[in-house]
Amino acid sequence: MLKLIKNALIHAPDPLGIGHIVIAGERIVYLGSTMPDLPDLFETEVFDAEGAPVVPGLIDGHAHITGGGGETGPASRVPPMGLSSFTKAGVTSVVGVLGTDDLTRNTQTLVQQAYGLRDEGLSAWCHTGGYHVPLTTLTGSARGDIVFLDPVIGVGELAISDHRSSQPTLDEFLRIASEAHVAGLMTGKAGIVHCHMGDGERGLSMLEQAIATSEIPARVFNPTHINRNKPLFEQAVALARHGCYVDATAFPCEHVDPGISAADAYLQFRDAGDKVDRFTISSDGGGCLPAFDHDGNLTRFGVGLCDILPETLAELVRAGVPLSEALAPFTSNVADLLKLHRKGRLKVGMDADLVVLDENLAVRHVMAGGEWHVREGQVARRGMYEQG
């Protein structure tokens, strides 16, 4: 069956005006302003967008798909994330990571969870390793995991400047980065080191040293949580000028202090005159959002949700950022960083991942891989163990 989405206000993310989209299977086969004349031979499902914005499916480049947490004991482990945790937020592609607990959770379970989400209709990948060195891997090396395991596209989230990290040396860090980079060259995958940035005073100094003292391209070094405090964000602005992609976390409002929101981080990054195509925003969905005192004692605990991504998108538009520009940190920028060549844009040949927004830019309908997952704001397709 073909699917025709007509009268869509298309942001691809570039604004294309009112147009029509034809989908065959999992791909977009037509996109244009002229209504296509589809032969009666083909059964066609028609959806009238009635002038509503139709945008690429969001790509969440950092989510704990197997669950995060564990900092206050076994009961604090966050459960794995279900399919609709992503789709109801307009997320059609996700990259899973391990965090503090890369011992009772490992690359094996992460890869298996990615395959499970794929079976349910989501596009899913993951990184190998976690906070600590030596990395937790499946094949015995980061390079082997990236080369031989289809869902694995990089290393992460490796903890830097954090009391929970294994305090890697510069040499250890560069060895990991070299493995990721070479594996990326061998496979065409992203081959990045996705770095969890903590609140430590060293900030991004290890990444700065790595760029200054090695031949590894700057794009390999990908810091996340860069908006968790203001000094770290200022360092990230400078680091991006070397060619790094930097990732802000869309923290819930009660977890923003002492940092800045992802929307404000983007606005400040933009005002600094830096290349906004190197800026991405992710959710930390399924991960814990802890705060610690100077002795390492937990003082606050929360859980990240993907729902914050469309809320952040709407916040950027309310702040005066054009929708087409505001979409990029959630779509095309992430696709470019992760080398997901059929994601992040709406055009012929791309995967049929799209979101229909309402007048308030809330998620109304979601299509992933050519199938409707959310209709009229309600989940239409659930994971195997999700409650109806």
Dihedrals phi, psi of 5, to nearest 5 degrees? -105, 110
**The one catalytic residue among 145, 284, 307, 336:** 284
Dihedrals phi, psi of 208, to nearest 5 degrees? -60, -45
Dihedrals phi, psi of 230, to nearest 5 degrees? -70, -40
284 has catalytic annotation: yes
Give the residues across from 192 on adjacent strands: 154
Q: Which of 148, 157, 151, 146 is nearest to 183 (CA)?
A: 146
In eight-state DSSP terms, residue 117 is H
CB 74 within 8 A of CB 103: no
In eight-state DSSP terms, residue 137 is -
Cα–Cα distance measured from residue 373 to residue 54, given in angstroms and rounded to the nearest whole number: 15
In terms of Cβ atoms closer than 10 Å to its own Cβ (0-12, 13-18, 19+), residue 293 is exposed
Q: Which amino acid, one-letter code, is at 344?
A: G
CB 66 within 8 A of CB 52: no
Q: Which amino acid, one-letter code, is at 295?
A: D
Alpha helix segments (H runs only) across 1-62: none
CB 310 within 8 A of CB 89: yes
Q: Which residue has the tokens 């081959």?
A: 191
Q: Which of 261, 265, 112, 135 is nearest to 194 (CA)?
A: 135
CB 367 within 8 A of CB 354: yes
Q: Say which residues have a Cβ less than 8 Å from residue 69's Cβ, sequence separation at least 6.
A: 76, 77, 78, 99, 100, 101, 287, 288, 303
Q: Which amino acid, one-letter code, is at 218?
A: A
3-state secondary structure 232-252: HHHHHHHHHCCCCCEEEECCC
Give the residues across from 368 on adjacent strands: 371
Residues classed as catalytic: 284
